[in-house]
Amino acid sequence: MNSKLIYPRKHDKETVYLKNVVKDPAIEVGDYTIYNDYVNDPVDFEKNNVLYHYPVNKERLVIGRYCSIACGAKFIFTSANHTQRSLATYPFGIFFDEWDLPVERIADTWDNKGDIVIGNDVWIGYEAVIMQGVHIGDGAVIGTRAVVTKDVEPYSIVGGIPAKTIRSRFDQPVVQVLLSLKWWDWSDEKVKENLEAITTGNMRKLLEGSKFGF
């Protein structure tokens, strides 16, 4: 196990550990989170998938550990959306020189809804779109080509345009236990020791394993 690799699979240049290819300090990615892209170079995730993300807005993209992001998923930030406070849809503030506006007013062109925050162990499907200000809880699943405009509860499955909850992955008692265990914060060794329980859905065995050092 080596979370410092760029390509975690031999002979596979379509999948990267995302943390090791992003350079923008406003993008934070946890260990073992992967991005797969068979259309473009996945190393260019920051350029191709994080859109309208400009320093003037001071927004962050935060992605947790052990997330899986499919090809073409997009994260759309504030500057993509013209303000609804104006009587015009036209973004006059961008062209401040043309219209003799103070440069300090440029950020008024958009309605800033804040950071995009993705929890841990989140699966984001093919060409899904995550809009500005959205928070996605741990363990959630975002369906193919879903457009997520609102927060997503932990361990829920959402899909559609706009995305709506389809169902929860587990009963709420199980969800609460998983959120308490936070296995994604365990050491690599502890995750490896409990991998069979995690991957086979054996909650009883996982609880037994979690007693050691939890």
pLDDT tens-digit map of 23-54: 999 999 999 999 999 999 999 999 999 999 99
Global confidence as pTM: 0.93
Is 179 buried (19+), middle (13-18) or exposed (0-12) by CB count in 10 A? middle
In sign, the C-alpha dihedral spanning 56, 61, 186, 188 is negative
Average pLDDT, the chain: 93
Q: Is the pLDDT of residue 3 over 80?
A: no
Residue type, 84: Q
CA–CA distances in Å: residue 91 to residues 55, 99, 105, 106? 18, 11, 11, 9
Distance from the first to the final alpha carbon of the chain = 21
Tokens standing for residue 105: 């007013």
pLDDT of the residue at 211: 66
Q: Select the more confidently predicted residue: 79 or 50.
A: 50
> Does residue 144 contact residue 127 with C-beta atoms inside 8 Å?
yes
**What pLDDT, in 10s, does the model give residues 156-175?**
999 999 999 999 999 999 99
Q: Is the pLDDT of residue 213 over 80?
A: no
> Does residue 173 have a cis bond before it (omega within 30 degrees)?
no
CATH 2.160.10.10, the chain: domain bounds: 15-169
15-169: CATH number: 2.160.10.10
Active site residue 82: yes
Residue type, 34: I
Of 11, 53, 82, 135, which is the active-site residue?
Answer: 82
